[in-house]
Amino acid sequence: MNPSRAHHLSVVALLAFTGPIAVAGLIACGSANPSESDATPSTAAVAEPTGLRWQSFQGVDLPVAEQGPRHIEAAVASGYDRSPAGAALAAIQTTVRMSIATDSQWPTVGQRMLAPGPGRDAWATARAQISITAPITSGAPKVLGYQVPRYTLDAADVDIYTSHPDNSVTCNHTHVLWQGEDWRLQVPDNPAAASVMAVAVPPVDMVALTPR
């Protein structure tokens, strides 16, 4: 498969319309929507990231702020605040990096940025079946912002809103855990539990990230 095409499909699999086992056999991350009774308002509890800037990884622009990541070593981004904004930045960084890291990078991404468990093992098995060697050169999705429907000091649900070259918008429901003094993305044990859906427009109470 053409490297650029493989990368594009990988990102689409993660941030667009598919579930966790998707195009080219890559696993995307998501969690089932929390019930309305369990969810808490996002804008009341979530502060916007401060000192926001953008840094490209494999052709996709990713947000970096005072809340994290503070350390970027090759494909691994770490060092996030134990806060809703820190959890959101970790979820965004990890979902993209696990999707488009190169063949030599993805094992370290999985080891250091994903929570251990059957979901991570399944992702590694699927990722080993494809080859990614070059960055995306066109058609990369753009992260618009996020919501944090549920947050505790140990876990958070993060909804990531993304725009695509055809002007469509998607929402990716993700879950992060506080482990080893940092946030790690939890890949669902059951691939059917993932939830990536198309939306007409981003919600008005989304924490919008300033366009680059």
Q: What is the pLDDT of residue 194?
A: 60
CB 178 within 8 A of CB 91: no
- Residues 6 or more apart in contact with residue 97 via CB below 8 angstroms: 57, 62, 75, 76, 77, 109, 113
Q: How many CB atoms lie within 10 A of CB 86?
A: 24
Biggest alpha carbon–alpha carbon distance for the chain:
46
Share of the chain above pLDDT 70, in %: 76
Asked if residue 191 has a cis previous peptide bond (ω within 30° of 0), the answer is no
Q: Quick one: pLDDT band at residue 109, thresholds 50, 70, 90?
A: very high
| pLDDT for the residue numbered 90 | 98
pLDDT band, residue 210 (cuts 50/70/90): confident
pLDDT in tens, 51-101: 999 999 999 999 999 999 999 999 999 999 999 999 999 999 999 999 999
The Cα 26–Cα 47 span in angstroms is 32
Report residue 161: phi and psi, to 5°. -105, 130
